[in-house]
């Protein structure tokens, strides 16, 4: 699929000829109908609800159809504190979503455990088990921040390739779309993190 020259396309548009590509059309449709999975975990969910309500109105971006079933959802908004008891269920819901699927990690807790990071019962970030596309800091993030994350995700979807070596993950059969569900261990979740997914930055410091 050859890309059309930007200047040529603008010139054609000026003359009343609208040219597009299959990839552009496909991504345009996808990015404007992201259906989130309807579930919330803590106070971030209240902000997510506010984002869906009329004042902030996520429908402006095509994301208003919150689906109560993972089978119909494109986007998982992990809104709130993920306890270790809840983590296996979240991974299971993620596995049940059909490809292509995306994850927004909303708020400090979903990113790292937040204020409960050193607690015995809170998972230190959902990115230990599933891949996350957009992180939103905040405690809780305002609806504008969630809309910003939503627009970032739209930008990501828009830039995804359909063919070639750098094509989107869901079109690559080698990329996994399901991840192992952690089990309840005697002291912690087993395993404590999925090493294929979780790659924390190495911090170089004098020990």
Partner 1 sequence: MESLDEIKARIEDAVPGAKIDIVPNPGPANQPSLLIDNEHAPAIAQFLRDDPALRFDFCSNVTGVDWLDRTVKKTVKVKKLIDGEEKEVTETTEEHFPGYLEAVYHLYSMTHKQGPVIIRMRTADRVAGARLPSLTSIWRSAELQEREIFDLYGIRFEGHPDLRRILMWDEFVDHPMRKDYREPDDYEYEPTPHDDVLEKAKQHYAPRPQLDGAEQITAKL
Is position 195 an interface residue for partner 1 (rule: CB under 8 A)? no
Q: Which is nearer to partner 1, 174 or 201 (CB)?
A: 201
Question: What string marks each residue from 78 to 107 as x (binds partner 1 by CB under 8 A) or -?
Answer: ------xx----------------------
What number of chain residues touch partner 1 (CB under 8 A)?
Answer: 21
Instruction: Please report the sign of the dihedral spanned by the C-alpha atoms of residue 193, residue 199, residue 200, residue 203.
Output: positive
Question: For residues 112 and 105, what is the distance between their CA atoms, to the nearest angstrom?
Answer: 10
Read out DSSP for 96-154? HSPSS-EEEEEHHHHHH-GGGTTSSSB-S-GGGTS--SEEE-SSSPPHHHHHHHHHHHH
**152-181: b (≥16 Cβ within 10 Å) or e:** ebbeebeebeeeeeeebeeeeeeeeeebeb
Of 2-10, 39-47, 64-72, 180-188, the window that binds partner 1 (rule: CB under 8 A) is: 180-188
Is position 202 an interface residue for partner 1 (rule: CB under 8 A)? yes
Candidate residues 2, 10, 15, 118; the one interacting with partner 1 per rule CB under 8 A: 118
Report the 3 state secondary structure along 61-98: HCCCCCECCHHHCCEEEEECCCECCCHHHHHHHHHHCC
Candidate residues 6, 16, 174, 204; the one interacting with partner 1 per rule CB under 8 A: 204
Is position 115 an interface residue for partner 1 (rule: CB under 8 A)? no
| 140 cis-preceded (ω within 30 degrees of 0) | yes
DSSP 2: P
Is position 185 an interface residue for partner 1 (rule: CB under 8 A)? yes
Least Cβ distance, residue 37 to partner 1 (angstroms): 23
Least Cβ distance, residue 141 to partner 1 (angstroms): 19
Candidate residues 7, 120, 173, 174; the one interacting with partner 1 per rule CB under 8 A: 120
Least Cβ distance, residue 105 to partner 1 (angstroms): 14
Is position 71 an interface residue for partner 1 (rule: CB under 8 A)? no
What residue ranges bind partner 1 (CB under 8 A)? Answer: 84-85, 118, 120-121, 124, 184-188, 192-193, 200-207
């Amino acid at each position: 699929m050859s890309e059309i020259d930007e200047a040529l396309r603008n010139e054609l548009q000026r003359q009343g000829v609208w040219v597009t590509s299959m990839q552009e059309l496909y991504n345009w449709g996808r990015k404007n109908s992201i259906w989130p999975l309807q579930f919330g975990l803590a106070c971030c969910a209240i902000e997510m609800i506010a984002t869906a309500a009329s004042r902030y109105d996520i429908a402006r971006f095509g994301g208003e159809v919150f689906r109560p079933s993972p089978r119909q959802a494109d986007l998982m908004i992990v809104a709130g504190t993920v306890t270790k008891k809840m983590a296996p269920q979240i991974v299971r819901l993620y596995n049940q979503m059909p490809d292509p699927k995306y994850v927004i990690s909303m708020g400090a807790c979903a990113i790292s455990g937040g204020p409960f990071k050193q607690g015995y019962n809170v998972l230190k970030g959902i990115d230990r088990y599933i891949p996350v596309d957009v992180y939103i800091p905040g405690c809780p993030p305002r609806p504008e921040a969630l809309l910003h994350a939503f627009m970032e995700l739209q930008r990501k979807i828009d830039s995804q390739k359909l063919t070639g070596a750098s094509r989107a993950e869901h079109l690559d059969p080698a990329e996994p779309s399901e991840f192992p569900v952690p089990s309840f261990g005697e002291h912690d979740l087993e395993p404590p993190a999925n090493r294929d997914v979780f790659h924390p930055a190495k911090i170089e410091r004098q020990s």
